[in-house]
Amino acid sequence: MNTILGNGSFINNHKVIELIRIGNIANTYLAKDQDSEEFVIIKQFACQSPDPQQVEKAQELFQREVKILRRLNHDQIPTLIDTFILHNQASFLVQQHIEGETYHECVFERQEEFTEFQVRQFLLDVLKVLIYVHFQGITHRDISPDNIMCRKQDKKPVLIDFGCSKQPINQLNSGSSSTRIFKPGYTPPEVQNGNPEYSSDLYSLAVTALVLLTGKRPEELFDLNTDEYKWSEITISAELQKILRKMLQVQINARYQTAKEVFAELKSLSSSSSSSIRTQQTLAHITSSSSAKNKRWKNRFLWLTPCFAVGLLIGVTRLIPVVFPPSAKMTTGFLYKNMTPEQTQINQLINSQQFSLAISQLEQYRQKNPRNDQAIIVLENTKIGSKKSIKIAVVAPISDDLDKAEEMIRGLAQAQWEVNAAGGINGLPMKIILVDDSQDQNTVKKIAQAVANNQDILGIIGHLSSDNSMAASDIYQKEKILMISPTATSTNLTGKGDYIKRTVVNDAIAGGTLARYVSQKLQKKSIAIFYNSQNNYSKSLRQSLINEYMIEKGKIAYEADFSDPNFRAGAMVGQAKTAGSDVIMLAADSSKLDKALQIMQANSKKLLLIGGNSLYINEHTLSIGCGDSQGMILAVPWNVKNHLNSPYVKTASNLFKAEVSWRSKMSYDALSAIISALKKTPNPTRQSLQETISKPDFSAPSGDEEVVKFDRQGDRIKPVELVTVTSKGDMCTFEPIEIR
């Protein structure tokens, strides 16, 4: 049994301030980092059971959750700072702390009342988080009011988990392959049976919503005689009741299957702006209400357990320089869904044209945050200040898909830094305008129009998805402003207009290369295709593969639609096998990656998996299901391991503290093409830029052995590269495949 650390003691350069909780598996401490002087949480593995088997099981659970936390790399998740072992026996983890109160305290201790609109907004906020968590292949399994907090700093909801510390140690069955966490009233039957599904979290969330709506505990709301909730005692609209009823179905198949489905239905319900204001006031009241000092001090950290510490900062107020029209969110400063106070202050300095002070703060910010790629762009922009410059807009899904947006921004930041360091373009520096994209197609068109209307902007790099690029391309072509997409691969974008180009390889090349490799090299002639019939990229990749596979005399043995409301991964994989498939093609767009992961898990390495560039995601994402994805073959535009000695990669490794991806490289190539064209165009205009870059003999350097060159229809002239997913310890990597 581990010794409890005393107040004032030191552990790996952290001073223990207070013991917060003694748990069955771990002890929780508030501590202070002696270098940064920031508060942290330290968890000490301390299983209280005398049974060696249960101690071993608890240790496995502790390490498993540490492993998951390490992989959850997201700005809306509390950071796992460090893990270490002392004296070869005591395990510790150090984690960022978050301050706030649980909704359980709000409802049952302070009798906070929630309106239907507030609960709808609460559900939307938490569902956004579950979409991300489920995409990682993780189910929470313990959602309830005491596992959701309202963060004091910005009044945003935070999903937390007391699973490990609350679970009785005798439930750690050493003979079981999974740990079961029960919470009466909130836990659906399949979780109690040890078979959690993604929809299990939706069940628990619906119960939580009923508790907030009524102020009553689950056992007070459920009628044991009828096995139904007492809906007559729950005053809500018929629309919301219908959604909650479906979330609460005992039969898994009768529930919503994904958080995205629930989110879409809730989003469609009408709401008023006045209700939104009342919601914000209520949430502010939740965290500002006073309570006893000691209780507040302890409760703010109580949620931090190694089982599943996921923080959610959903909803946002953007504090950015008001320089451009409000119809689109554009700025030369930082642009994030959740701005830090330091980022906000820098933006305010830029907005007030205090450039020298902003530069000083940005340089300090860069030293503290070397992985922040926007900081390089903001610093370059701020150095230019109000001086004349060449302006290029970058449209990226910063609010909706920050990881991929930052991959794009990383490549653009490098290209901007390089050209400005070399003296600019014909003596003029380049300024990049960051623009936040949307998932709504009508909004995408409005954003495109707002960007096109800004006559200072000479060209556009974006959008990330094929759907958005298609929606925006008509606007840009009509307004005669060059758009280069670094990431949109759909064949439908080919020939959209002489102002529309891309640096990424299109799906016809990717699908064809995959089909030939699988058929000729691997001699596999029967394939099952999983795709999304509602997505341009997915349909394009599917059709491109089919076209080439038919030429190779292959057979399409089975097809399934990710958007099928009756989608069941296990059953569909079984049908694919029965049909004689020896390959599964996952043509999943980013909105269906969670279902692609389900297919990987259901397949369990039985059939060969192949896919497109959407599955070339950061190692942390695939690593949750690393074993199931091992051996998968992907067609990608570029793989860093084929170009390690290139000037581009060497410069990137010095400039950033993160590995570059194909999205980074294709974005770099897009800006490189624009830079090269501008250098050949004195006093450039939108028209002269387009004319120069469209010449048959135009080419631009790309930082490696290749060049950027377009065909007559605006497509990149470039081969595709193949990679395979390989397990390296507990991580997945993408290893090159030689194509002959």
Domains of the chain by residue range: 10-96, 113-299, 330-505+645-709, 507-636+722-737
* Mean pLDDT along residues 397-414: 92
* Mean pLDDT along residues 235-253: 92
Fold designation for 330-505+645-709: Rossmann fold (3.40.50)
pLDDT in tens, 595-642: 898 899 899 889 999 999 988 875 444 544 567 888 999 999 999 999
Intrachain domains 330-505+645-709 and 507-636+722-737 with the same fold: yes
pLDDT in tens, 43-73: 887 666 667 776 776 677 677 767 777 766 6
Instruction: Give the model's pLDDT for residue 176.
Output: 42
Token output for 229: 């909730």
Q: Which residues are catalytic?
A: 142
Distance of alpha carbon 625 from its chain centroid, rounded? 16
Above 60 in pLDDT, residue 489? yes
Instruction: Give the model's pLDDT for residue 395.
Output: 97
Contact yes or no for 138/273 (Cβ under 8 A): no
Contact yes or no for 565/541 (Cβ under 8 A): no
Which range has the worst mean pLDDT, 359-373, 501-515, 540-554, 608-622? 608-622
pLDDT in tens, 277-306: 333 333 333 333 333 333 333 333 333 333
Listed residue (594, 691, 608, 705) closest to 649, CA to CA: 705
Distance of alpha carbon 556 from its chain centroid, rounded? 32
Residue 249 pLDDT level (bands cut at 50, 70, 90): very high
Residue 163 pLDDT level (bands cut at 50, 70, 90): very low
* Pairing mode, strands 14-22 and 26-33: antiparallel
Q: What is the CATH number of domain 507-636+722-737?
A: 3.40.50.2300
In angstroms, the CA 513 to CA 511 distance is 6
User: Which amino acid makes up residue 679?
Assistant: K
Mean of pLDDT over the chain: 83
Above 80 in pLDDT, residue 173? no
Quick one: DSSP state of residue 208? H
Instruction: Give the model's pLDDT for residue 269.
Output: 75
Q: Highest mean pLDDT range out of 187-196, 218-227, 425-434?
A: 425-434
Residue 226 pLDDT level (bands cut at 50, 70, 90): confident
Q: Does domain 10-96 sit in CATH 3.30.200.20?
A: yes
Helices (H) and strands (E) in the chain, counts: 26, 26
CA-based end-to-end distance of the chain: 59
In angstroms, the CA 620 to CA 612 distance is 18
* Mean pLDDT along residues 701-726: 93
Residue 585 pLDDT level (bands cut at 50, 70, 90): very high
* Pairing mode, strands 390-396 and 430-436: parallel
Torsions phi, psi of 288, nearest 5? -95, -15
Instruction: Give the model's pLDDT for residue 282.
Output: 34
Q: In the β-sheet with 731-737, what is the strand arrangement from edge to edge?
A: 555-561, 526-531, 583-587, 608-611, 633-636, 721-728, 731-737
Token output for 536: 């341009």
In angstroms, the CA 362 to CA 304 distance is 32
CA distances from 23 to 27, 44, 45, 303, 584 (A): 5, 10, 9, 12, 45
Quick one: DSSP state of residue 614? G
Above 80 in pLDDT, residue 370? yes
In angstroms, the CA 304 to CA 653 distance is 34
Which range has the worst mean pLDDT, 222-226, 313-317, 436-440, 728-732? 313-317
Q: Which CATH class is domain 113-299?
A: mainly alpha
pLDDT in tens, 188-201: 888 777 778 889 99
